[in-house]
Structure 1
Amino acid sequence: MSPVAKDEDTEDTWSRFRDAVNMTAGELEKWLKTDESRSVGQKTDGGEATGHASGRRIVDLLHTKRADLGDDDLAHMRKVVGYVKRHLAQRPPGDVEDTPWRYSLMNWGHDPEKA
């Protein structure tokens, strides 16, 4: 990929990531410490859920300058964008404030209740 194309891809990925992740690094860090955050998601071998681990990585990405993003960072950012988009399309009916659906999205940095 040419340097110009890589810069354009980085900008596009950064923009879509920032649209999908509507929580600040501080909000997400605080959320990830809650029992509700740890209560949802797929856990491998009884360990940390995939979304919870992703949330920790998102916090790091939110503290990273665009110029310092590597290919692995961009790949994870695209994964976050895809997850948030797919999960939002599966919104359950009714009040979602205290639901696993919302908690899972919040682990990925998106609070659907946030204006």
Structure 2
Amino acid sequence: MTQYFLTLPHDSAEEPTMASMDPAELETVMAAVGKLNDDMIASGAFVTAGGLFPPSTAITVDATGDSVTHTPGPFVEAKEYVGGFWIIEATDQAAAVSWAEQASAACQSKVEVRALQEAPE
């Protein structure tokens, strides 16, 4: 089966975290995401998932030159960033999109779906 990367975009200007969310709203979202994760696990689709801290907490590492550099912040500036993700296994893109629809409803957010590349044979 193909693995798919489901990502949740967040607004870079706001950089929300679970700590900054309204507690009642967070509880509702976490319950919905917990049910979605349970459903994914039961179906065999779940590989892993996680939430990410905002880009302002990132460190970009570059070891491509003569010396290694560590630069505070993201490697790219964007109006949105990936705030959370799932990696799932699905039989095809339509099945992955179906999971993304459920993730979008659970998180009250858009969800992007992309297949992970497989090494050529």
Q: Is TM more than 0.5 here?
A: no
More strand by share: 2
**Higher relative contact order, structure no. (Cα contacts within 8 Å, ≥ 6 residues apart):** 2
Q: Which has the larger radius of gyration?
A: 2
Normalised to the residue count of structure 1, the TM-score between the two structures is 0.30
